[in-house]
Structure 1
């Protein structure tokens, strides 16, 4: 009986608590900082790697982080955008591919909740983003009254979704959980 209790305790404590941060790579950290702060109101939490630091590189770093041979991390900065997970931004040299699109495997966009989606879109475009369309309706379970969504391409090609769902989500009877939403602004 004791063995089984320990197994159950391990099962429950081994689960993640939530998304802590999302990482993205950009060609120029200072330009990305300008875009993120002007376009999304991002705030710098800290610099994990500055120009004064030696770049992180070499076979062990390549193995640990899955980097291609010869790549080097030159800059690393953690941002906070409103509530939710942080955004860790890297500037890396070496072999690189274009940013993923929505149809590509793996992480393909970040989504930010907006109270004023049209204003947020205008701000992000003024900072250098490119709207892929006008604000349009959301998909099923997010299509309550007043909803809207639009994808914006960052200067380095990453997709950013702006979304508003003032009427909230609706859930099927067999839903196991509700989607996290930022707290309303006071």
Structure 2
């Protein structure tokens, strides 16, 4: 049987200050900033669409998004958001993560399996929306596990525009 998920693509972490988090990850773990998908200066981000896509509390504003890499393994996507009813980060003994992403060559089949196991899918797969990530057939979709963790399904068979700007690459399972 062919695998529908090849591995973890990246982890997503919501942080209170993206500059401080980037500095910590680069200094503390040797991470490198690959690209910034959303900067605090961006005024054209559709926050209503982001709320639906990510399952956010209404009124949440995505302030900044960055993709970092370690030497090997999944990427680290940092989010800085502001919104109502934000809570402190979960502890190790609490259930869940902000999200983790799994890479799939057949995203539809992977979503069918996820639903069959009891997962909730937020939207149909859609083209990667950040300008740095667009490409023919590059798709993503978010869902929720039965206990509340968020999982992103991603497929990116085509080169991404950021690849023309830097020799650094996102890890691909």
2:94 to 104, 107, 111: 104
Aligned Cα root-mean-square deviation (Å): 2.1
2:32 to 24, 39, 43: 43
Give the aligned partner of residue 66 of structure 1: 55
Q: Deviations over 1:45-76 (max 9, x none)?
A: 10011123126454332121111110010100
Tell me the SS of whatever aligns to 1:104: coil
Q: CA deviation at 1:17?
A: 1.2
Return closer, same or farther for 1:34/1:58 CA change in 2, 3 Å cut-off: closer
CA–CA distance in structure 2, aligned partners of residues 92 and 105 of structure 1: 21
Aligned partner of residue 53 in structure 1, secondary structure: coil
1:135-162 per-residue CA deviation (whole Å, 9 max, x = no partner) reads xxxxxxxxxxxxxxxxxxxxxxxxxxxx
- Pick one of 12, 17, 20 that aligns with 2:6: 17
Contact 1:62 1:69 in 2 (8 A): yes
Can you give the 5+ residue segments of structure 2 that lack an aligned partner in the other structure?
Answer: 101-173
The number of residue pairs the alignment matches comes to 98
Secondary structure of the corresponding residue to residue 82 of structure 1: coil
Query: What is the TM-score with the length of structure 2 in the denominator?
Result: 0.52
1:88 equivalent in structure 2:
77
Larger-gyration structure (1/2): 1
